[in-house]
Structure 1
């Protein structure tokens, strides 16, 4: 499946990534992307920037070197209540909010607590996608969480880095299972490289292969085209981005 959007990328501002935004843009162009989301880690992660960094993304051009840049964040799920570490006024200025469980912030507990945290995060209305759910350190009830995501129009991320095997070991089979549950429930899928170095931007071959193998309908994959991605943002209640009208 050809994918036009990479929805999960990092710059050196995350504290443990190694490229600039301009380097990421250049790689996005070389990889044939039309759009990508810049989603640095939010402030609870070691080395991550203050929330002012994210609020100030308003200064970024909508296109850089011809590539559409979506203003976003990878926020941390802080607790079982599903709170994230980005203030509401900052969330309102962003196009795209991923929420993820990270070991440094949310100590792995048990399947019930993880499931409750994910469901409460979805129901908060603050997030557009759940990141790298394949992580075996955070087992959860796949059906319950994905059904809730379907109900609230929150996308389920299939993370290319998780499929490479070197990070979050044990994620591959879980990602396939998660994708199958999402397919059967009609939930939205998003695809991201989780790039921490520019050369990874847009390299979504493993995700693309997974989606083909499980016969995921392209209409469920919001990154299949810029049109589908932007329509998903509108479904989420985000204001139209007039500069991107030609991408619809």
Structure 2
């Protein structure tokens, strides 16, 4: 385990994930008609859906009742200062649209750090739909359901990308002509974890769209599994832990894949 982080912080993170998972599953079962209801505008400036708010409220309550003090950065509430030693970076529901429409690909993502993306020491991404749990600890590896994850080698003829191109129509047109198979799943945290497991060879967001809450845990997961996370130009990705910044992203299994993607943008 990390020499720099007390176990109690990791225990708290796992407790938050467990409680959010339980709350969302219960709501989907008992009150599915409420999931898509817009109830507010979040700290990031986007509409707050009922499903996001109830998940975030679970985290806030759990942190408030915890024996350790931690700060929180979350999609709806923004930054909550509890004079904590660490900052918990939370996306209470990544893939909200998937969850609202019954598409079984959405997650809760939580990372523990201090000021910037490279500070992240521990992270959890939980696929709420199928219960897969991705846990990572800096310098100690990435794990899927407690089994070590290392990015496998894949032959170039089998390259599979998940890609979000936004308004970059020229790049989109170019990619349609390439001998690659393309997907778009709508859940950044899980898509990046799929790069780490080898289910995907690359995850691409060509425009400045991604927030740190989306990828704080999964960036460390990819890197600990042996992969690379950069911006769309191939520069090592770094972000401050706040809601102000949005970035492009390439997550890939090796430098060759990163270069082949970056040269097209």
Q: TM-score, normalised by structure 1?
A: 0.32
TM-score by length of 2: 0.31
Higher RCO, 1 vs 2 (CA within 8 Å, ≥6 residues apart): 1
